[in-house]
Structure 1
């Protein structure tokens, strides 16, 4: 009988803990009194549940700073909030025709990831349903939304502040609202290339580096900057649009409306078009292996222009490490040798300091989804 009672008490405590955690997810920081009013739990139960959550580290307590002392109102009530470093976290990357999901468990920080492709005409509702399905697959069933402490989301193109529509960007606010509706909590959104930058700095090729420049050569060309250990977004959230730096004023038209952007010579489509017969990167690499001079020429052109842009960026922001990602980096020396040559020739190095180190990205296709996790971990 005693064992049955103890089992019931543990079950009841877990149920109340889930209730309190859910309220903190939905409402943000709350006092014990506010938790009691919202949950209907007794004062004694709230103090027992909160005490257990504080002991486990799932919740943290803080006293708000208020101005104006001596007004007789006493010490402000302690506020409780989720500790995102121990709560389960979810990262979602809505890539071009793929949804990628990464989860981090609260118990031991284990990270898992999965992905699924979809057609070019898939609606946002369908893409978010895929994200929910992948989340359930990673968590062993239906999505364990009751344990989630935060959701990070990566989107293609520029991602500005809420309420601001940027040219060439997806409808940020609409996606945010859909994710919040399907997952039951607000999401933190950012550009997927900026998130890949943060992931490489957190877990990949630039761990603990303070100043990092990341460039992704894929179907589009973009990247991100970490400056002084912090992800740089710019005043309006458009930093990292390196693919739209002009490299050839007489060149091809770019989807952004300008002419001769780096993206028109160094994206997958541009390089395949310059080659003329390969239809994807593996075919292009096979052409290289066969000694195809047209493949070497297309990649040398892309590498040369990319190296010049990187040199200018290095002269402007002075990174210690450059991380290169994207499918085109799989072309190897045919791309990297002209890139490195132009970078070394044009990057200004003062005194005895060496040019920036160039490293391949280590996290692959999962980088942006992992960066969405890192975004939550680095959130104040």
Structure 2
């Protein structure tokens, strides 16, 4: 008898998890929609939902009024916002971004903080911990959460796989897992930003997208056939390391003349100073541009031409429907983006050129953190090629 009760209890927990997972992925659903998506019978669904509502995990909203004769209005079921939160963290080159979303898919808050490029990882994690505490007023609740999503610079293998990058970043998942008691899903931050833009941002609804971020580093992501493309061993979207000038500046990747040496924040400012300019930040460079500095405008035109040439080569290879430009350098405005589009259309194949659209990214600097949250929620068909979120208990044992 005890064994039978144990089997029934496990079956019930499986049904509860199925319902919670559907609400976690899709947000509010009616009982009918839950039944169709879960495959559970009406009786079983009623029993499971009643139990989840009794323990406070699920809330029912009052049905909206409908015109007479149109049937009984359906109530909407959703996860209790107080039941848990999803956290995304983007460890960029010189800045850290954090976003928190509750399990009802409402943004609790976001925050960013700059730091030195050589700041040790332990200190970066401490900053992330502090920002999360400030956003949540010290009441972070991870009850309905299976993991924390983290974006880092550079190639990262599949979540759970060992790679050169993950070995160098052992402090990140270890410290975060110890702090919050859940596994950490880690991936390339620009690829996560591409994921976020393709779910909530400029590329929402598009099946084939090329995302490029011009920031302190240069990288991006590809959505091909409606799925985020990871590449073999997690290496995809490293557009910043396409060689533009073989005799150019040394790049941190070990090559020379990569796009990142030309179109990153440092690359642009270095070229400006080498030409006799005085701007020491992107903001002061924009100020010089707005004051009518022709040399700055010429510099941005050259940078934009290089970016457009690289984009054209990638577009001719993968044939996207949409190009999304993000990052601080792209936010300089038309002095850069217009030369990018001109060079892109000049070098792209005619068939691509006629149909290709170019948009500015919409999510700003927290795109990578929001992509980390999407990775945790595993809510999008864009993640069809990604591993599922790990078992929390398995992550804690490792």
Class of the TM-score when normalised by the shorter of the 2 chains: 0.7 to 0.9
Cross-structure match for 1:226:
223
Tell me the SS of whatever aligns to 1:252.
Answer: coil
**What TM-score do the two structures reach when normalised by structure 1?**
0.75
**SS of the counterpart of 1:146?**
coil
1:254 maps onto 2:251 in alignment: yes
Q: Secondary structure at the match of 1:190?
A: strand
Paired position in structure 1 for 2:91: 94
Structure 2, unaligned runs of 5 or more: 25-33, 40-56, 59-77, 389-398
Pair 1:154 & 2:151 matched: yes
Report the equivalent of 2:164. Answer: 165
1:156-211: CA deviation from partner (whole Å, max 9, x where unpaired): 12212421105xx8724442222222221111111110011001001110001111
- TM (norm. structure 2) is 0.72
Match of 1:326 in 2: 327
Quote how far apart the aligned CAs of 1:108 are: 5.2
Partner Cα distance (1:368, 1:245) in 2: 22
| C-alpha spacing 1:248/1:120, structure 2 compared with 1 (3 Å) | closer
1:347 paired residue number: 348
Q: Deviations over 1:226-273 (max 9, x none)?
A: 111111110111111101111112222212111111112111111111
- 2:285 corresponds to 1:284: yes
What does residue 370 of structure 2 align with?
370
- 1:359 aligned counterpart, secondary structure: strand
1:188 and 2:188 are equivalent in the alignment? no
Please give the secondary structure, in 1, of the residue aligned with 2:164. Answer: coil
Residue 126 of structure 1 deviates from its aligned partner by 2.5
Deviation at 1:294, TM superposition (A): 1.7
Instruction: Report what 1:335 is aligned to.
Output: 336
Matched, 1:112 2:109: yes
Which range moves more in the overlay, 324-333 or 103-112? 103-112
Check conservation: 2:122, 2:171, Cα contact below 8 A: no
SS of the residue 2:143 aligns to = helix
Task: Return closer, same or farther for 1:53/1:312 CA change in 2, 3 Å cut-off.
Answer: closer
- Work out whether residues 197 and 367 of structure 2, in 8 Å CA contact, stay in contact via their aligned partners in 1: yes
Distance 1:323 1:281 in 2: 21
Confirm or deny that 1:240 pairs with 2:240: no
Q: 1:175 aligned to 165, 172, 176, which one? A: 172
Distance 2:19 2:192 in 1: 32
Matches of 2:115 and 2:143, distance apart in 1:
28
Cα pair 1:154 1:190 within 8 Å, conserved: yes
Q: Aligned partners of 2:173 and 2:314: how far apart in 1?
A: 32
Distance 1:108 1:309, change over 3 A: closer
Contact 1:157 1:170 in 2 (8 A): no
Q: What is the aligned partner in structure 1 of residue 136 from structure 2?
A: 139
Which string of whole-angstrom CA distances, capped at 9 and with x for unpartnered residues, describes residues 332-374 of structure 1?
Answer: 12111211111111101339x7242110011111110011111
Kept after mapping to 1: 8 A contact 2:240/2:259: yes
What's the Cα RMSD here?
3.1
Superposed CA deviations along residues 11-47 of structure 1, whole A, max 9, x for unmatched, are: xxxxxxxxxxxxxxxxxxxx9949xxxxxxxx88x88
SS in 2 for 1:115: strand
Q: Shift in Å at residue 150 of structure 1?
A: 2.4
Q: 1:338 to 1:176 in 2, by over 3 A?
A: same
The 2-side partners of 1:291 and 1:358 are apart by 26
1:350 match: secondary structure: helix
Contact kept in structure 2, 1:94 and 1:156, CA below 8 Å: yes
* Bigger relative contact order (CA 8 A; separation at least 6): 2
Q: Structure 1 CA distance, aligned partners of 2:219 and 2:102?
A: 30
Q: CA deviation at 1:147?
A: 4.3
Contact in 1 for aligned 2:229/2:236 (Cα 8 Å): yes
8 Å contact from structure 1 (residues 133, 143) kept in 2: no
